[in-house]
Structure 1
């Protein structure tokens, strides 16, 4: 296989690796996680999801010499001026608490006490670069709109899912069947948008 057909995933998440491997397999693309190539995690100093995803993708590509994909995601709440935002995974640490889903959710709900406007959206930004200095990175950013509820519901999902109410489906993200979530979530939307862009950019042809 040509090394151009091997792309780097700027993540060590096994679930993401499996998802992207299945999605791109028909086009002959093989993914390798950056950890297998000795690439350390990149810094994420920016205030936007797109900038952080771009930084991670460029970092992985620069150290491997291969095309790379990175994503950055989180929850934004209207009444909190977009917080937790890019700090979603470590929101609680901003208040001196431990880094965990439970602490993040507890602090979010505490900060929304007495607030009527509970509008929120999950964000997923995905960036693919052909090489580290790619002047036209392929970018897909999608939002999944909902509301924050005080009491958690559902046993599926992770992070803020139990508190993210989706009015269109009358359930939380943690209550939503996996197949349905994989159609409507921010990550699902961004993945499909990215694939559509790359099909045009690279003239990808299905194998077999």
Structure 2
């Protein structure tokens, strides 16, 4: 059963989400603040819905903690709709951002979409329309050809393709692909992204989009 953690200091929001999610067959755990939510992370959580403005530990801090130690999607809930607030959320690693008040059905759609994406990320082969990224062989099959990319280009592409539409900051990509001991700067990411775009310029299965002031995301194109 899919286990969803709901962290919000508003009991009415928790009740609404519990009813909506349980009706869909999800197992729901609730937390009234960030510290309580953090104690539940050791359970097998598949997705977290986290309010930004919580006592003791806010949603940004909790999201950052989740991203540093766990691999499941996070949706931030907030009453704020400022671009700077959304930027902060994406920088700490959220996968999606929903502004209050929200429609429960819309949140449910977003949850289902994220669960599908993360399920795809666990596979050895990532399929983006007619392009297949094979993690075992380190090959990319596209336009009837087999492409062997330099290792870091392949790992960068696979990381972005594993989570379509998720925004990764340059610092995140450095950590995930090059590692914490990397001594260069984040311009390395820009250079590798440019090379990937050039290699796949004629491919109509996906594109890598620049998110100004934050980093990059990959989107699969509709066929």
Normalising by structure 1, report the TM-score. 0.32
RCO comparison, higher one (Cα < 8 Å, 6+): 1
Normalising by structure 2, report the TM-score. 0.30
